Amino acid sequence: MIAPTLSMIHAPPPEPSDEALVCAFHQGDERAFERLYDRYNARITSYAARLLQRREAAEDVCTETFVRIVQRRWRPGGSFRSFLFTVAHRLCLDRLRAHRRHTRLLGFFDRRGYTEVTAEDHLVFGQRDAQLQRALATLPEIHRAAVLLTYTEGLTSPEVGRILGCTDQQVRSKLSYARRKLREELEAVDG
């Protein structure tokens, strides 16, 4: 028999999976929903902010994502994280489409969209990260989404493909294009 070590005695219990928390929430455990919200709030907001280029809109998308999660019962069979980001992504696209319609209605068309980086962004991200944010803003939305979902959220190409509605190969192609464009943008800044 192996004697328990101090680290075995004081080891914290493992964190429950997303799926276990969702099931607990559907059985009436409100704390399970709070844990899911705490786990993903910042990540969803960050993803939406980078895609939409507006922090306030991103916070609204995050809130609406979790409202939709409550309204639409996620069913096991796929990754909860993928489902969550799919909902957030679609809400972002809805906002981008609505913004375009509004812009056309008013007769304004700005090809660059929301590419301004604020002083707050410089403080939060630092100069190089602010340059990267400006470079990300120049990418088409679908390429920007592929980069953010892959590199900031750690989703696989098949998961990103399901979220964006394209194949695994198309995701890899979009990532290749995006990396090349980002490199060109950053080299131009450094040049």
| CA dihedral sign of residues 38, 168, 54, 133 | positive
Tokens representing residue 148 in the block: 């953010």
More confident of the two residues 97 and 15: 15
Q: Which of 36-40, 80-84, 121-125, 155-159 has the highest mean pLDDT?
A: 36-40
Residue carrying the six token digits 């490199």: 183
117-191 belongs to CATH 3.20.20.370: no
* pTM score above 0.85: no
With cut-offs at 50, 70 and 90, classify the pLDDT of residue 23. Answer: confident
The domain spans of the chain are 16-114, 117-191
Amino acid 149: pLDDT: 86
Ordered DSSP codes for the chain: -PPPPHHHHSPPPPPPPHHHHHHHHHTT-HHHHHHHHHHHHHHHHHHHHHHHS-HHHHHHHHHHHHHHHHHSPP-SSS-HHHHHHHHHHHHHHHHHHHHHHHHHHHT---TT-S----HHHHHHHHHHHHHHHHHHHTS-HHHHHHHIIIIIT---HHHHHHHHTS-HHHHHHHHHHHHHHHHHHHHHHH-
Closest to 59 measured CA to CA, from 46, 74, 70: 46
Higher-confidence position of 110 and 18? 18
Q: What is the pLDDT of residues 52-102, one digit of tens each?
A: 888 888 898 898 898 888 777 666 677 888 888 888 998 988 888 776 654
Architecture of the domain delimited by 16-114: Orthogonal Bundle (1.10)
Q: What is the mean pLDDT of residues 148-156?
A: 82
Higher-scoring residue by pLDDT: 12, 26: 26
